[in-house]
Structure 1
């Protein structure tokens, strides 16, 4: 691997030297920049389109979108006379012709470009922001959460409204039906995600989220992990000059949250801080479970209640400083703590030819987790625009403590007390190099190392007597055979090269190659349980291709990418978890990573104030990982322990069951049928038809081709006097495995908000499923000898009150004005965005 990195460094140096000695263009190129401002409100217009033509020409040569400050910059402009056209929904086009660049003055700063709304469209301008909730870019779709009317709760609630994303009742996230999603925060992985993604997302307040980036076909510069793609959650930070702050929150019948943002941006120094948290009122669910094993004629099940309460807190801060025009440094830290409690009662039964038992159960559990992510980023920019080196390092540390107590009314079912302590450390070092060789070719290359270390301590204590009817439930003895201490290590070494070609007639081609080496080792520490250490070492080559064509407001894109999904410790740990004496679980250290190949064709167009994004895709997944439940498992054989009453139970483990070929299509649209109304809708449908191999054909009970889907329909209304209303309907089909369908999930959200104090403050009310008190979720599993069902009734109806207030003094400065030493806007994300000037 050292040789690989040495080779990459040599290639980088050689390429850079060649570019400097003659690989670039011989002519002088420059840039055209400026700021687009509404002439009436004097506010910047973000996401306005700025196109460049030859002076007097009719066909656009290139184009960019303005940022949140209204700023734009057209790079790689040769000397000559040009025509600049600025267009924005509800405004007439603004044309400036000619704009002249010369060898003596290759950079042209247009200053402030004022455009005035037309008289007929003046009122419509106030609602066009709603159409910017969704953006499409060359390599991603962006959901701007901060522009939503309803933006309360936590990250799970936000993700439910993101196109192509679905979230089930347990908080598990899927992208186009695939749960193998790589979730990043501000472009970087978080160590907290290695414990429980669903719980981490519930701990992030919605008020902290600025946007969510959806990347279904990542290029080679992205990490290869996550067969479904990447979701990048961007938290709020200010890029304006001055001091600003905001406070927001919500109080409701289901959950409560609060959030505080503080920003200082002065000259070259930028300081941001954020504090937030949420608390969920305890919710009681009704759970019915049934299991039948035909080979031993065993029936078992329970009718239970489960009461869960959650809390979380998150704080973050960053300091950025530009030493000069070429060197910048940013240090940031995010700290998170969350936890939940679970108290339950159950009425249980177990019947077989020799046993007929009915008994009661009491249980309680408590989980607490804490985590921090510390990032340091250094950027060095060369004199040539876009030529730079990025060096980033991250340390993530997290701990999780879990303890539970289960008491039963009969001695034949032993009481159990469990303690699980885990710690996770993740170290990342990354270097990226970008070189625009000329106006037709850009080279990107880099390397990355990720080192993960996980320690898990799992201790079980058996009750020596029946405790449910006693006042002393602490009479427990340590059981070494059902306990486990485990160390797990994973190292990933990666290197990539990406070339982007700007071709004639608005074509563009991007080719990428990435090589990743994965080294895994598992080391059991408990000698009582006869578990063997294991190691894995494999290489994965990731080729990517993206081909685009732009025709005015239309973009066509054809992509090919390859992705992998590495199994986590939960999937690999061979220890048998017997916390539930009738249903065990066990990892599989022989698992291979899933490998997915994806071909996708996407079409995007803008028609006045409407937008359409449609795609069709084909996915081939090898080494498909699914959980397999088997019946008639002997507890005594597994643990080699004293015989117990219950001999025939179920065991759930993970297997590479075979392959799956899936065809899919997704559609997203946004329209403004009338001035005050915006309607957005998304539907994604795909096929599921796995081809299991070997012994797994006996576990398959689903033999047909199944169509699965997720969809939402959203309507928002902006009225006079600052009133806004929104309604969202979310639909998700059951997620299938070869053993049966899982839970479906549907949701209806409505809300009303009133803005006042020149939109600096707002107050609103919202409701989740206002006319349905409880929601029902069913799961059915079947194999050749096993039938299982789960029926959960969960309270979901809720009402809430939200508020927000922003204060402080900020100003919008011209970033191209040399008299103002404004922060240069260094991009510190691992995931670098494709530059706007390469869209064509």
Structure 2
């Protein structure tokens, strides 16, 4: 493995030295522009939001691009003298290519005048009326959700948007899943954030929806992507725009549940670009209701515990970024981005418990999370069209502080808990693309991820009128993880509209953990394993409107941080938890057959898939005996285990239809089976043996009304998710929004209503196994009314996105940075 990385480094340095930042540095330095106006050839109306791509004459890879304004005008600045190709495209219209378009030092500007674009035989009837990107796009390798087109999104956050994306669901705690599987990686602008690895649900709630441009769902990642995430990858693209001159926008919302705002500014001068963005949100205090019931009936313990309580949550967050880039010439460019976040949430709770020893308690929970991600990326393009080398580095730092106090009237000792956690993640990556000829394209690269996580969890018990350190509960945890990877992917274009994407990836994972507690005999632990990840996709274009795809992917889910920590967390003495340092990664293999079809005004996507998961990781609860005020009571101890295998059959349907020119209806449903095969002693913990069907879906209708009014309504939901011991809550929601566009669509004011028919949403869980039964009910206030606004200025001129670091690993849902922390209240 070390030899492999030495080889990659030598290649990178040799290629970089050969480039010498030379490229096409010589010659005239004057730059000009290419401009024109796109008109519908039938209606003779200007076409806004039409994509205009700039290529080198005869080339296949775009070097720049813009979208037309509301009058159909476009302008591409910074054009060096030369021969170019313009490709104009819009959904439902055949693309129009104009080649060559010539500029020279003596005549740097090329005014193309009026360009007519003709609709195709299968053009969408409403496209030239609405003139906008659809809310959801079905691409051959992904599903793209255009959040900018969601009227009910303003005033919300990333969690709200993810709940509406096809194949994606989000539970009440903010855990994200694709097709019911929570082992999915969430990226931001193609890169992970150190904060998402540690506190994903809080980071998603901190990102204002107004900052998000699109969300991509990749269900069958190739070997180019990190092996982690058995369900696939979700990539959140924010509104970072490189534009000509100065532009930006301000947006926000005020509501009964949450308030937020966002500001972005963008500047581009010649080959330099600068982007800044800052946003935040603050929720009004929300009071939730909780109920808990537990029965322990083991051989020696018989106890019943019932508890009712309330919890009051306040949350606020600030997120932002600063990015800059410079193109030395047509062959070499450099980009850097600094992203930061600060999240705070405070919870106050009260509860009354009836058990062998009745008691009441009050809790206060103060949480603060700070972090940043700093990346530096260099791109070198070769003279051969499409050949490219990308070198990327990233440093992610995250810190979290939790102060937790629990005061009891009887039974238990009063507790305080102070957790101080730090994490640093260093990533080094090289990617190379080589189009060998018209048939073959090679992609190869290497990557190293170094993670260093440290936490100290200090507990204090109330003794003699003061809180003093409790070494029995206090603990420290140092965790190091190194991942080394190399990959190669071949794209093969065959006759008769066949294409193949085949790849192979090798990853080595090395883990070292050092837990410590004064009372528990905790030994350091190590893990080292190799993961071989093949991928294969075969695609057949059946016709101009139908594409068939067959794919095979292998993915893993690494147990990380608290999943491996052997410290017994006794903060809740009747609900203790412990990690498992011998836990193996979860491995899944999926075969999927999908059909994309475009039928007149409808888009359809159908897929069926089979997934085999080995080493399935679940938390297994078992009854234990605890002593409270000298009396023996029952409780549970939950341990993470590889419980066995699971074979799942699934299918999904996604479609859009336009029954009228002004109305678009979009729907999605996904269903799959769950029937685990527990191995060994885990058969004894299983509470059901049948096959369960789990599902989720959404339905949305959008109407374009006269006088620049837009209206939308949506509903989505998902069934409960099973484990071998029980079920997690169901979730559903309904919303309506109306927006008025002003100032030639540069400004908009809207209203929206979420969950108007019920103030609270109930989330019920059921857990049972031989020896115990446990149920819980959580009611969260969800009804909200809000006002939203947005204003944009400047003229957009989008450039191609830059490549960079992309750490799609670590098991989803493992959100602690270390330590045996207090319960994460307010999630």
Q: In the TM superposition, what is the alpha-carbon distance from 1:13 to its structure 2 partner?
A: 11
Q: Distance in 2 between the 1:64 and 1:337 partners?
A: 37
Which position in structure 2 is the counterpart of 1:648?
634
Q: In the TM superposition, what is the alpha-carbon distance from 1:645 to its structure 2 partner?
A: 3.5
Q: Distance in 2 between the 1:630 and 1:292 partners?
A: 12
Q: Distance in 1 between the 2:536 and 2:639 partners?
A: 36
Q: Deviations over 1:681-735 (max 9, x none)?
A: 1101000000000111111002110000110000000111110011010111001
2:275 is aligned, of 272, 275, 279, to 272
Which position in structure 2 is the counterpart of 1:828?
803
Q: Distance in 1 between the 2:112 and 2:622 partners?
A: 70
Which position in structure 2 is the counterpart of 1:105?
none
User: Looking at both structures, which has the greater relative contact order when contacts are Cα pairs under 8 Å and sequence separation is at least 6?
Assistant: 2
Q: Distance in 2 between the 1:646 and 1:34 partners?
A: 82
> 3-state DSSP class of the match of 2:210?
helix
Q: Distance in 1 between the 2:244 and 2:263 partners?
A: 19
- Residues 66 and 680 (structure 1 numbering): CA distance in 2 closer, same or farther, change over 3 Å? farther
Q: Which residues in structure 2 correspond to 1:725-736 (within 5 Å)?
A: 725-736=711-722
> 3-state DSSP class of the match of 1:429?
strand
2:380 corresponds to 1:380:
yes
Q: In the TM superposition, what is the alpha-carbon distance from 1:12 to its structure 2 partner?
A: 9.2
Report if the CA contact (8 A) 2:247-2:796 is conserved: no
Q: Deviations over 1:339-375 (max 9, x none)?
A: 1111111111223xxxxx2111111111010110001
Q: In the TM superposition, what is the alpha-carbon distance from 1:235 to its structure 2 partner?
A: 0.7
Which position in structure 2 is the counterpart of 1:458?
457
1:782 is aligned, of 758, 764, 768, to 768
Q: Which residues in structure 2 correspond to 1:240-389 (within 5 Å)?
A: 240-295=243-298, 296-351=301-356, 357-389=357-389
Report if the CA contact (8 A) 2:763-2:778 is conserved: yes
Report if the CA contact (8 A) 1:664-1:684 is conserved: yes
Q: In the TM superposition, what is the alpha-carbon distance from 1:829 to its structure 2 partner?
A: 4.0
1:489 is aligned, of 480, 485, 489, to 480
Q: Deviations over 1:286-318 (max 9, x none)?
A: 111011111211111211111111110001010
Q: Distance in 1 between the 2:99 and 2:684 partners?
A: 73
Q: In the TM superposition, what is the alpha-carbon distance from 1:164 to its structure 2 partner?
A: 0.3
Q: Distance in 2 between the 1:315 and 1:347 partners?
A: 41
Q: Deviations over 1:15-57 (max 9, x none)?
A: 99xxxxxxxxxxxxxxxx998833556555546999xxx9xxx
Structure 2 residue ranges without an equivalent (≥5):
17-33, 69-73, 77-84, 103-109, 808-827
Report if the CA contact (8 A) 1:575-1:586 is conserved: yes
Q: Which residues in structure 2 correspond to 1:66-145 (within 5 Å)?
A: 69=67, 88=90, 114-115=115-116, 124-125=126-127, 128=130, 132-145=134-147
2:7 corresponds to 1:4:
no
Q: Distance in 2 between the 1:234 and 1:711 partners?
A: 23
> 3-state DSSP class of the match of 2:242?
coil
Q: Distance in 2 between the 1:568 and 1:674 partners?
A: 51
Q: Deviations over 1:187-213 (max 9, x none)?
A: 111100122211110011111111111
Report if the CA contact (8 A) 2:302-2:634 is conserved: no
Q: In the TM superposition, what is the alpha-carbon distance from 1:119 to its structure 2 partner?
A: 14
TM-score normalised by length of structure 1: 0.85
Q: Distance in 1 between the 2:157 and 2:179 partners?
A: 21
> 3-state DSSP class of the match of 2:436?
strand
Report if the CA contact (8 A) 2:223-2:504 is conserved: yes
Q: Distance in 2 between the 1:525 and 1:754 partners?
A: 59
Which position in structure 2 is the counterpart of 1:393?
393
Q: In the TM superposition, what is the alpha-carbon distance from 1:282 to its structure 2 partner?
A: 1.3
1:233 is aligned, of 230, 236, 245, to 236
Which position in structure 2 is the counterpart of 1:838?
none
Q: In the TM superposition, what is the alpha-carbon distance from 1:529 to its structure 2 partner?
A: 2.9
Q: In the TM superposition, what is the alpha-carbon distance from 1:112 to its structure 2 partner?
A: 7.2
Q: In the TM superposition, what is the alpha-carbon distance from 1:789 to its structure 2 partner?
A: 0.2
Q: Distance in 2 between the 1:831 and 1:461 partners?
A: 40
Q: In the TM superposition, what is the alpha-carbon distance from 1:825 to its structure 2 partner?
A: 3.0
Report if the CA contact (8 A) 2:192-2:806 is conserved: no
Q: Deviations over 1:584-642 (max 9, x none)?
A: 11111111010000111111112233211111111110000001111124469xxxxxx
- Residues 143 and 129 (structure 1 numbering): CA distance in 2 closer, same or farther, change over 3 Å? farther
> 3-state DSSP class of the match of 1:3?
helix
Count, aligned residues: 761
Report if the CA contact (8 A) 1:445-1:497 is conserved: yes
Q: In the TM superposition, what is the alpha-carbon distance from 1:132 to its structure 2 partner?
A: 2.0
Q: Which residues in structure 2 correspond to 1:444-523 (within 5 Å)?
A: 444-464=443-463, 475-523=466-514
- Residues 571 and 761 (structure 1 numbering): CA distance in 2 closer, same or farther, change over 3 Å? same
Q: Deviations over 1:530-555 (max 9, x none)?
A: 21110000000000001111121211
Report if the CA contact (8 A) 1:94-1:115 is conserved: no
Name the stretch that deviates more: 189-198 or 208-217: 189-198
Q: Distance in 2 between the 1:581 and 1:188 partners?
A: 39
Report if the CA contact (8 A) 1:47-1:66 is conserved: no
Q: Distance in 2 between the 1:123 and 1:5 partners?
A: 54
TM-score normalised by length of structure 2: 0.86
Q: In the TM superposition, what is the alpha-carbon distance from 1:459 to its structure 2 partner?
A: 1.0
Report if the CA contact (8 A) 1:628-1:653 is conserved: yes
Q: In the TM superposition, what is the alpha-carbon distance from 1:139 to its structure 2 partner?
A: 2.0
Q: Deviations over 1:160-179 (max 9, x none)?
A: 11110001111111111001
Q: Which residues in structure 2 correspond to 1:549-588 (within 5 Å)?
A: 549-550=540-541, 551-588=543-580
> 3-state DSSP class of the match of 1:156?
helix
- Residues 597 and 72 (structure 1 numbering): CA distance in 2 closer, same or farther, change over 3 Å? farther
- Residues 480 and 721 (structure 1 numbering): CA distance in 2 closer, same or farther, change over 3 Å? same
Report if the CA contact (8 A) 1:319-1:330 is conserved: yes
2:530 corresponds to 1:539:
yes
- Residues 453 and 769 (structure 1 numbering): CA distance in 2 closer, same or farther, change over 3 Å? same
Report if the CA contact (8 A) 1:403-1:418 is conserved: yes
Which position in structure 1 is the counterpart of 2:585?
593
Name the stretch that deviates more: 576-585 or 377-386: 576-585
Q: Distance in 1 between the 2:14 and 2:342 partners?
A: 47
Q: Distance in 1 between the 2:384 and 2:152 partners?
A: 43
> 3-state DSSP class of the match of 2:770?
coil
